[in-house]
Amino acid sequence: MEVLGEVFNIARTIYNLCDKASSNKKQCSRLKTRIRILLKTAETLEKQPDKSVALLAVLEDLVTTLENAKCWVEKYSDHAWWKQVLKSNSIKGEFELLNDCLGDAAIQISVLLAAEQKDMLHRFFKENTRKQQNAKDMEEDLKELSTSLNSHATEMKDKIDNMTAIHLACSPTKWNIIEIRVTDLKRGVLLLEQPTHYLYRGELHQSPVAIKVFKDQNVQNEEFIRKTFLSESQTMKKFECLNILRLYGICIDNSGPETCYSLVTELCEKGTLRELLQIEPDLPWNQRVHMALDTARALYRLHQTEEKAILHGNLSSFKYLVDGTYCVKLSGFELSKTETSIRRTPNVATRKKNRVLEYMAPETWQDINAYDKRSEIYSLGVVMYEIATGKPPFHGLEVTADNLVEMQEKWWASLDNDFPSSCPDMFRDLIKRLLQKNPKDRPSARVTVDLLLHYLNQQTPE
């Protein structure tokens, strides 16, 4: 199996780089150990003819993951690694992302194993265990870096400023989702009005936030809403990710004649992705691909789980928000049960009206029950098409539920002409793969993330 040889060649390079690491030694060692365990299992399966075909598919995807791992070690294993993470174009949380991809590969390989071996691999790559190990390794590596910077920085302020910025760039944000007191929240200007809510700019403990205030509220059972929120917020915590809109909490205001419910999230100053693409049509390609990686990474975080995958349900460029650093964040799925309990249930006509036809995968046109992870991959492809072309999907076409099939065929036929000549080949080809009619022909969220990450790792800053 040639691909296994290729995988082992990349792995050997990674092992050598890790052995020579002068910084981030704990994380390098952890990465090396995980790859060794994974490949040792793969090598065993390769000798079983009945498993080789299924293993081949896993290994082909693993090649890109290992190439990205090699790039990570090359970038972050020498003494000057910290300068990389302070660059505006650096890929935040890259180590965590790589290990998520390795964990996914382990799950795929484990399907081919006997029960005893499967349990062992599951325990070794268990998500909670991985994250705890990653956090501990990073903490120890940062302590070593702090000692090194302290011995070289000429001024105390340089030491403090550097380490503070590095900690912010490297350490994953921990969500603390709570019920917020009315007195801690300050409502500012109205940003947006929707049929179901108002969106305000606000402040929480003097930090900028967005406040979603619901209309037409169901105020009959406040305690039920509170219990639903507390339960669902705990579930939300497992989706902590740089590219998922951070939720701070719920605010229940009883000071007026009617109870007022609000959800408080981080503020994304640049608005929706669609708005940004209209306002700033000349974004450089590396930035566009980086933003595409953000969109894919958010969806990957929902789909990549050891339990039942979460589906967003209504993916579009309006559901992705952009902060002041051009970091793209997915919104619109959090606390769905809490929001349902707050709002009066919309009627069927309203729910149909809220569907965005242009983002619907073809397999769901006739049967909404066909909606699954691969359907969301199609929607992600539409979003990336917008990032690449700057155009909304079906531009110039009048789309209705009655003519959707006809308009879809016209749009597909025009795709090649829509991409600018300067669009990177990899990006264009990936988008076309995501938009395949047959769901089985679309890459997974993990493969999409891997390919975008690999492209960015090969680029020099613009």
Report the C-alpha gap between 257 and 55 in whole angstroms. Answer: 63
pLDDT of residue 411: 92
Which CATH number does the domain 178-266 belong to among 3.90.550.10, 3.30.200.20, 3.40.1190.10, 2.40.30.10?
3.30.200.20
- Number of Cβ within 10 Å of residue 437's Cβ equals 13
**Would you state the structure tokens that stand for residue 308, as one six-digit string?**
């039942």
Report the C-alpha gap between 386 and 288 in whole angstroms. Answer: 10
**Would you state the structure tokens that stand for residue 184, as one six-digit string?**
């801690």
pLDDT of residue 398: 86
pLDDT of residue 26: 95
Report the C-alpha gap between 180 and 343 in whole angstroms. Answer: 19
Backbone torsions φ then ψ of 23, nearest 5 degrees: -145, 160
pLDDT of residue 154: 57
Report whether 321 contacts 328 (CB < 8 A): yes
Burial 217-241 (b: 16+ CB within 10 A, else e): bbeeeeeebbebbeebbeebebbeb
**Would you state the structure tokens that stand for residue 218, as one six-digit string?**
């169901």
pLDDT of residue 317: 96
Report the C-alpha gap between 14 and 33 in whole angstroms. Answer: 11
Query: What are the residue ranges of helices labelled H in 20-114?
Result: 25-46, 49-76, 81-85, 94-110
Report the C-alpha gap between 248 and 235 in whole angstroms. Answer: 14
Report whether 185 contacts 204 (CB < 8 A): yes
Report the C-alpha gap between 430 and 459 in whole angstroms. Answer: 17
Dihedral (CA of 161, 164, 166, 169) sign = negative
Digit-coded pLDDT (tens) for 285-308: 999 999 999 999 999 988 886 556
Report whether 125 contacts 34 (CB < 8 A): yes
Strands (E), 299-450: 320-322, 328-330
**Would you state the structure tokens that stand for residue 235, as one six-digit string?**
């579930």
pLDDT of residue 349: 41
**Would you state the structure tokens that stand for residue 372, as one six-digit string?**
């699954």
Report whether 189 contacts 199 (CB < 8 A): no
pLDDT of residue 235: 67
Segments of the chain assigned to CATH 1.10.510.10:
273-318+356-457
Digit-coded pLDDT (tens) for 144-159: 888 877 776 555 455 5
Report the C-alpha gap between 370 and 374 in whole angstroms. Answer: 10
Report whether 335 contacts 236 (CB < 8 A): yes
Digitized pLDDT (tens) for each residue of the chain, 462 residues in all = 688 899 999 999 999 999 999 999 999 999 999 999 999 998 888 778 877 788 888 999 999 999 999 999 998 988 877 777 666 556 678 899 999 999 999 988 988 888 778 888 988 999 889 989 999 999 998 888 888 777 765 554 555 566 677 766 676 667 888 899 999 999 999 998 988 789 999 999 999 999 988 886 655 577 777 777 777 677 677 778 889 999 898 898 888 888 888 889 999 999 999 999 999 999 999 999 999 999 999 999 888 865 566 788 889 999 999 999 999 999 876 544 444 555 554 443 443 444 588 999 999 888 878 888 999 999 999 999 999 999 999 988 888 888 888 998 999 999 999 999 999 999 999 999 999 999 999 999 999 999 999 999 998 654
Report the C-alpha gap between 208 and 80 in whole angstroms. Answer: 33
**Would you state the structure tokens that stand for residue 2, as one six-digit string?**
């040639």
Digit-coded pLDDT (tens) for 205-214: 999 999 988 8
Segments of the chain assigned to CATH 3.30.200.20:
178-266
**Exposure of 402 in the CB half-sphere (CA atoms within 13 A):** 1
pTM: 0.88
**Fold for the domain defined by 273-318+356-457:** Transferase(Phosphotransferase); domain 1 (1.10.510)
Report the C-alpha gap between 57 and 107 in whole angstroms. Answer: 13
